[in-house]
Amino acid sequence: MQWQGRRQSSNIEDRRGASGGKFAIGGGIGAVILTLIGLFLGGNLGNIFGDATSLIPTQTTIATSSGAKDAMTEFVGVVLADTEDFWTKQFQQMGYTYQPPKLVLFTDYVQTGSGGATSATGPFYSPADKKVYIDLSFYDELKTRFGAAGDFAQAYVIAHEVGHAVQDQLGIMDQVDSQQKTGGDTENQLSVRLELQADFLAGVWAHYENSIGVVQPGDIDEALNAANAIGDDRLQKQAQGYVVPDSFTHGTSAQRVKWFKLGYDTGDINQGDTFSIPYDQL
């Protein structure tokens, strides 16, 4: 991916120099949340559709000066800027105004609008405060643990989480919350639909990246490899030797690849309605 020397987003909040207080067990989030994690299986902040209450330790953080401007920080800034450019245009075409989410960099743990989270959560979007959170050490794990190396694999992670911000602003999360309350799909199935749609939206963004000439040979393969590496079935097979489909929250490797590729191939946001398709045909 060609990113050096390009515009960086100003919507980055660097908390890597923050200091934290003690964890307070039972602090509680106190509100119904729809926190959609980006990658880790089961790494959500409590129940996806329920009140997380005391399930998550909380802590107080005091922001200090921003961390050093390193190459990875600059890379993240460029990727976020590209998502802003793309989604601003898309929303204008739909008659809406896009509100770019802030991206928070943190180390080890962070306090969010949805409660406290540690690096083990993986990258995630918090609808309570409209921010994307990531500990950049995750990229090392993406490469070493999941075998998904490359800068476009890293860009895919950000684009996926920004896809959740898009879902939030388009009212899709509210609609899913209503569906969960009225029955139909199970909570896990609704989560899978949301995650696959976020993969699709990341693919649509990748289509845009290709159109402006910043995608290099092998980049899309890197993103597809990342999507394949983090499917529920593959992660469960690696962790426990067998899969439990009813427990899936993000979709299989094949599904994640399919929906990202559909977004990339079409570049058409209208092709990503994962909610009108029978669940067994996703």
Q: What percent of the chain has pLDDT over 70?
A: 81
What's the pLDDT at 251? Answer: 96
Phi-psi region of 23 (alpha: psi -120 to 50; beta: other; left: phi over 0): beta
Whether residue 6 is contained in a domain is answered as no
CA 251 and chain centroid, separation: 14
DSSP sequence for 211-235: HTT---TTHHHHHHHHHHHT-HHHH
Asked if residue 53 has pLDDT above 50, the reply is no
What domain range is 190 assigned to? 12-281
d(CA 209, CA 215): 6
Of residues 192, 175, 157, the one with CA closest to residue 274: 192
Q: What is the pLDDT of residue 181?
A: 74
| Alpha-carbon gap, residue 254 to 89, rounded angstroms | 30
Q: Quick: pLDDT tens for 137-190.
A: 999 999 998 899 999 999 999 999 999 999 999 999 998 988 877 767 888 999
Q: CA 141, CA 122: separation in Å to the nearest integer? A: 10
Domain presence at residue 117: yes
Q: What is the pLDDT of residue 213?
A: 96
1 within domain boundaries: no
- Give the β-pairing of 102-105 and 115-118: unpaired
pLDDT band at 69; cut points 50, 70, 90:
low
Q: Say how far apart CA 147 and CA 142 lie, in whole Å.
A: 6
pLDDT value at 121 more than 90: no
Give pLDDT, residue 51.
28
Top pLDDT among 97 and 59 is at 97
Residue 50 reports pLDDT greater than 60: no
- Give a yes or no: residue 197 inside a domain: yes
Please enumerate in sequence order all residues whose Cβ is within 8 A of that of 76, keeping only pairs 6 or more positions apart, or say none. Answer: 12, 103, 105, 134, 136, 158
Q: How are beta strands 109-112 and 61-62 bridged, if at all?
A: unpaired
Torsion of CA 150, 148, 76, 201, to 10 degrees: 110
119 C-beta neighbours (distance < 10 Å), count: 19
Residue % of the chain over a pLDDT of 90: 70
Q: What is the pLDDT of residues 184-208, one digit of tens each?
A: 788 899 999 999 999 999 999 999 9
For residue 68, count CB atoms less than 10 angstroms from its CB and return exposed for 0-12, middle for 13-18, buried for 19 or more.
exposed
**Tokens coding 13:** 């909040």
Instruction: Using the Cα atoms of residue 120, residue 124, residue 130 and residue 136 in order, give the sign of their dihedral.
Output: positive
Residues in the chain: 282
Distance CA 257, CA 263 (A): 10
Q: Is the pLDDT of residue 24 over 50?
A: no
Considering the domain boundaries, does residue 7 fall inside one? Answer: no
Per mean pLDDT, which of 23-37, 41-55, 253-267 is the most reliable?
253-267
Confidence (pLDDT) at 17: 76
Q: What pLDDT is attached to residue 167? A: 97
Model confidence at 36: pLDDT above 70:
no
Q: Residue 55: what pLDDT?
A: 19
Domain count within the chain = 1
206 assigned to some structural domain: yes
Instruction: List, for residues 86-108, the tens digit of each pLDDT value.
Output: 999 999 999 999 999 999 999 99
Averaged pLDDT score across all residues of the chain: 82
Is the pLDDT higher at 29 or at 148? 148
* DSSP state for residue 67 in the 8-state scheme: P
Which amino acid makes up residue 162? Answer: V
Position 93 in a domain: yes
**Would you say residue 246 lies in a domain?**
yes
Task: Give the other-Cβ count within 10 Å of 42's Cβ.
Answer: 14
- pLDDT of 27 reads 25
Please tell me the pTM assigned to this model: 0.84
